[in-house]
Structure 1
């Protein structure tokens, strides 16, 4: 039995830079040395991605939705009617294509054939136009997998992980959602994910919600009544967590490489509290991990970049990092299944 993880890969929205990025990734010989790869894509979109990227790679096509040792293979899938996808713009066609290829990748994961999934950037407007009625793809993934446990979007940059207690919700709704159960679940999820990624004892920092950490209750009591007790409870469960810390200074404690940081992960209370910090630190290298789901799913964090699509200048750094994480987490998943 091969020791390499099996990764199902899709291009993402054809209107964006996903096809170009996946082409650059697969054209690197080191990629196929690390994993068995099945690319699920319309062959014409794959060829277009290679053309834009300026690379050439011949993938053997397979009629079977499955894996085989050796070089990456292509499973051709196209939308009925084979529409002409708008480039650099959201569309229902792009959304349907994205959901269709992802559905096949999820089937491979559910059947135990795929150890992890890597997808090119998606566009939420396209997904919603295609009929996805969830706020984001993470909730759609959970529904497709029939998963009803806790899950959260993680963002990863050069080994630093961030998660959040609330995500795609209005800021006015955030305070009511900061509960002991939700804070505790967010801490546990990122601890478990880092362990699955190969880290034995992750160091986790937890942010406060209010300015100056609430300033001893002057600007709110969430830190005193909810967040601090949740951190204490996590430590009692064996999680190496500390906090709460003021959100405007916590990222100063994670500058530099892994050996220089005080923490390996940060749990934030709402979306932009963590996203702004980590994207400023390295926008072109950030990775999104769909955390807590039964299968590891990764993607570059930067989005479809409609403004530069078809120009051949998209930076593949985040896609390469997403692939590395998919390999590590996929290998851990396979090892656990075979134990």
Structure 2
């Protein structure tokens, strides 16, 4: 069976809903998983209009209600009216809905209702203006999982290459001051722990030079 993945539409005032609508409409999502879209039905409809695609949707209240032989499923958050924000502009209203939906998605994950989730592009300024005063969504995830005081970070994987970074989502001028002995060592330890947990008994870890992200 393919994994059940929650697909959050992303920042409503950005390109996320359009991208997700296009991928759901052309069957790309269904090739890799059993998708459950997460977001407001009105935002999805707007995304479909921008993407020039139209597909039937089954609105469900919980993942257990999904008919996997039916149309694409949507968990309708009912938390954002398209009249309350302007596409292309930073919106605190949209940012709050983003944060609320990310927390809801993490709850689904903790309940094991889904196997994982992905999300369309976000806007960190809107996210913070909406009341979520954390550095980024990754810090929010750590807090939701009671992991904020433990080693955590952003991981990227492509084929056999796994990359972690010492800094992320901070102003460019602050990058160098965060490249400390302790921060570099902590990232190396996190890399080793993560790869060993994933089945690499003796991972080879290269340490790159300063690469402000």
Helix, strand or coil for the counterpart of 2:122? coil
Contact 1:83 1:93 in 2 (8 A): no
Quick one: which of 179, 199, 204 aligns to 1:240? 204
* Largest Rg, 1 or 2: 1
Q: What TM-score, normalized by structure 1, do the two folds share? A: 0.54
User: 5+ residue gaps in structure 1?
Assistant: 202-236, 248-268, 276-339
* Counterpart pick for 1:62 among 51, 60, 63: 60
Distance in 2 (alpha carbons) for counterparts of 1:125 and 1:176: 22
**Residue in 1 that maps onto 2:107:** 107
Q: Whose relative contact order is higher, 1 or 2, with alpha carbons under 8 Å and at least 6 apart?
A: 1
Change (3 A) 1:65 1:4: closer
- Seen in structure 2, the aligned counterparts of structure 1 residues 55 and 185 have a Cα distance that, compared at 3 Å, is same
Distance 1:240 1:159 in 2: 11
Q: How many equivalent pairs are there?
A: 209
For 2:144, the equivalent position in structure 1 comes to 144
CA spacing shift, 1:189–1:27, aligned 2, 3 Å:
farther
Which one of the candidate residues 35, 38, 50 is aligned to 1:37? 35
What is the CA distance between 1:187 and its match in structure 2? 2.8
User: Structure 1 residues 176, 120: closer, same or farther in 2, change over 3 A?
Assistant: closer
In the alignment, structure 2 segments of 5+ residues that lack a partner are none
1:103 positional shift: 1.8
Cα shift at 1:189: 3.4
1:166–1:65: structure 2 CA closer, same or farther, 3 Å change rule? Answer: same
Q: Secondary structure, in 3 states, of the residue corresponding to 2:190?
A: helix
What do the CA deviations read for 1:51-107 (whole angstroms, capped 9, x no partner)?
Answer: 111111111111225463335311111227775211101111110111122122111
Counterpart CA distance in 2 for 1:193 and 1:70 is 36
Tell me how large the CA RMSD over aligned residues is: 2.8
Instruction: Output one character per residue of 1:236-277: Cα deviation in whole Å (capped at 9) or x when no partner.
Output: x833124x45x3xxxxxxxxxxxxxxxxxxxxx5xxx164xx
Q: Secondary structure at the match of 2:108?
A: helix
Structure 2-normalised TM-score?
0.83
Q: Residue 96 of structure 1 corresponds to which residue in structure 2?
A: 96
For the residues of structure 1 that align with 2:54 and 2:14, how far apart are their CA atoms? 19
Whole-Å Cα distance in 2 between the matches of residues 99 and 179 of structure 1?
Answer: 33
Cα deviation, residue 178, structure 1: 1.8
1:49 aligns to 2:47 (yes or no): yes
